[in-house]
Chains A and B, each alone.
Chain A
Amino acid sequence: MVNAIELREITHYFDGKMVLDHISLNVGKGEILGLLGPSGAGKTTLIRILTGQLAQTSGTAYLSGIETGKHAGKTRRNAGGASGRAGAPLTGMMTDDCGLYERFSAYENLHLFARIYNVPRSRIEEILRAVGLWEARNTAVSKLSKGMRQRLSFARAVLAGPQILFLDEPSCGLDPQTAAEIHGLIRQQKQAGVTVFLTTHNMQEATKLCDHTALLNGGVIVEYGPPEEICRRYHHQKKLLLRLSGGENVVLPHTKEAAETVADYLRREQIDTIHSTEPDLETVFMELTGRRIDQ
């Protein structure tokens, strides 16, 4: 099967400075890929290249098997297939700055793009209800909260039923509850067979949401795989952490002797909680790059 997204040796320079360094990556159909990296890693740059807003210095990228940039129209339109309407755009995108018309209401913003894509009006109501903005449909965007704008921007991205969705920091700056709402919307898209390529600096988001994550640092993918697997890979020091009822912490290695100790504590009913010490993505990132991701 053709990969939804395929990158081969994508390299990009800005004013002589290398921002992306031979990035190769595949995203299967219907998968959610999370591109994780600190600010300035080149996440947005990669999305802009994939969506044809920026031409890479070298390398090739394919969306559904079609090379980007070459046949601009083709890579953006569907022949009509599994999930998409014929003539629907192949890709949808949510930018990190929304790009909404401030003087227009939520409804008017979607109506404009419904006309451009030739999508029936009924779809506007459907999608506004899905993202929970139907009540606020007549409010001008300038009066919407940040989370509402993000949801509207998301609604616009999926309006025409694209097969591949690019989301640049979809939950950046949102409170946990609103972020969770956005995650729900992203999962719905996945269920509908849409491939999702998202960027984030949020480790929990990546762990919970993504089938695969790629850790990007300084323009290089330093690690790739399913999030739990990445964490397991870096599980060098296998240790158990026991928290005792007295408030005391005990760290034990994975050995036979330790098993005895644990059994002892259990018999004496002294254990509050037991934790494995496998690292989270945050720790892995730290180990790989020596810097924190949110720095």
Chain B
Amino acid sequence: MSLRHILTVFFKQGKDIMRNRTILIQFVLFPVLAAIMEYSVKPEELPEHFFIYMFAAMYFVMAPLTGMSAVIAEEKEKNTLRVLLMADVTPAEYLAGTGGCIFLAGMAGSCMFAVCGGFSGGKLAWFLLMMAAGTAVSLVAGAAIGVWSRNQTSAASLSVPVMMVFSFLPMLSMFNEAVGRAAKYAYSQQIYRLMAEGSSAAKGETGIVLAGNFLAVFLIFRYVCGRQQRGSKKSANR
């Protein structure tokens, strides 16, 4: 592992994302929507910061997942990844640099949510911690999709259904009990609850669900990487 390689990839991705509107908008749109709703709609019967938490949950699922998968898939499609790997950047260095950059972008957006909510002190730390945990799971899922896909189209068709399910679960589970029972096994639902209700909402199952979700996406990611490596040895992929 070369730190120079990781940092080079990190800064390259940062610069590239700043110029890539389709990805950039994901990181800006949700915090802006949350701000608008938080300040303009103040329904009496909804809990405090309802829109912040709602959009934050969608955000930590969607932005890192689409960001990561789109960046990797684009580099595969345009053959730039091939050139990087030829220049002795290892796949691990590439993923570390890219993942680090998307993670940081994700946390920058999280800070915007925190500002909208006027969080401070322990509440702020807790909120950011939860966002970091959610972002990490989505990031690995996005990496798996990106590595799996040959091009941006196939990455999008894979990531859209996945993020729909996870990002809408928290909202849907409020309206439907059956959905709620299934949703509690999803990391997005657990983190949403922890965010909205605070650390006291943590139950025994919470940790298990979170660890289980992370392990699951990580294993999928490992499997996809292994398949990719075997594939390039055997030939098939271009």
Contacts and interface: CB of A to CB of B under 8 A. Distances in A.
A115 B88 contact: no
B235 A97 contact: no
Contacts of B12: 101, 112
Given A12-B235, A53-B86, A95-B79, A101 B5 contact: no
B contacts with A: majority SS: helix
B16 A103 contact: yes
A89 B89 CA distance: 12
A108 B16 CA distance: 11
Given A89-B88, A104-B15, A116-B89, A99 B235 contact: no
A102 interface: yes
Interface residues of B, number: 24
Interface string A48-84: 0001111101000000000000000100110000000
Contact of B19 (A12, A76, A103): A103
A13 B232 CA distance: 13
Contacts of B5: 116
A99 B20 contact: no
A265 interface: no
A43 to B, nearest CB: 15
A108 B15 CA distance: 10
Contacts of B20: 103
A118 B87 CA distance: 11
B222 interface: no
Contacts of B88: 73, 76-77, 89, 116
Contacts of A97: 79
Interface of B: 4-5, 8, 12, 15-16, 19-20, 78-80, 82-89, 232-236
Interface of A: 12-15, 51-55, 57, 73, 76-77, 89, 93, 95, 97-104, 108, 112-113, 115-118, 156
